[in-house]
Amino acid sequence: MHRYKAFNAAMPTTTAIAKVGTGTSIKTMLQVATPSTRQCQLISWGYTLDAVPGSTGGIIELIQTDVAATVTAHVASGVQPLDPNAPASLMTLGVSATGYTASAEGTPTAIRTLDTDMIPATAGAVPVNYDYQWMPDERPIIAVSKFLRVRVTFSAAVNMLCWVCWDE
């Protein structure tokens, strides 16, 4: 079993990782697609915002769904093995697969909510970052041919970095 991590941005090289704008309606910030031959088990996930998302706050969801969003496709280097000797991830890459910054959400018919976090309207007094690591016996498994998404619903656009870590 090997462990991988992906962010909602291209793999940084000569510059820092790029923040991604959330928009002002529902938007998938990061998507990981399991192939028909492999599932994955989640280890942890998290996000950081650079500001409070408006006077009404917002919600961040980690979900499994049956329909892909249209995303900017990750390339193999964007899905990083945590062990330098591990093989490349077997997660499916592509604009309807593993990637970030959705341009179209699709129409999911089945969703499994794995975690959520709400940013209150008064969030100036609370952190706008979140990290969660599951205990070994509660780690969710993403089934074959499914899509894991970090999805936000904000009334005002802010910049976000998010990530997911999994075993496959």
> Structural domain boundaries of the chain?
3-10+22-31+40-167
Mean pLDDT, rounded, for 117-128: 71
Pairwise CA distance, residues 117 & 39, whole Å: 25
Residue 94, token pair as written in the block: 């592509």
Extract the tokens encoding 119: 């940013």
Strand partners, 140: none
The predicted model scores a pTM of 0.93
Q: What is the pLDDT of residues 12-60, one digit of tens each?
A: 888 888 889 998 889 999 999 999 999 999 999 999 998 877 777 889 9
| DSSP run (H or E) holding 151 | strand 147-154
Structure-block tokens of residue 37: 């031959």
Residue 113 has a CB neighbour count (10 Å cut-off) of: 11
Residue 126's pLDDT is 60
Mean pLDDT score, 111-115: 96
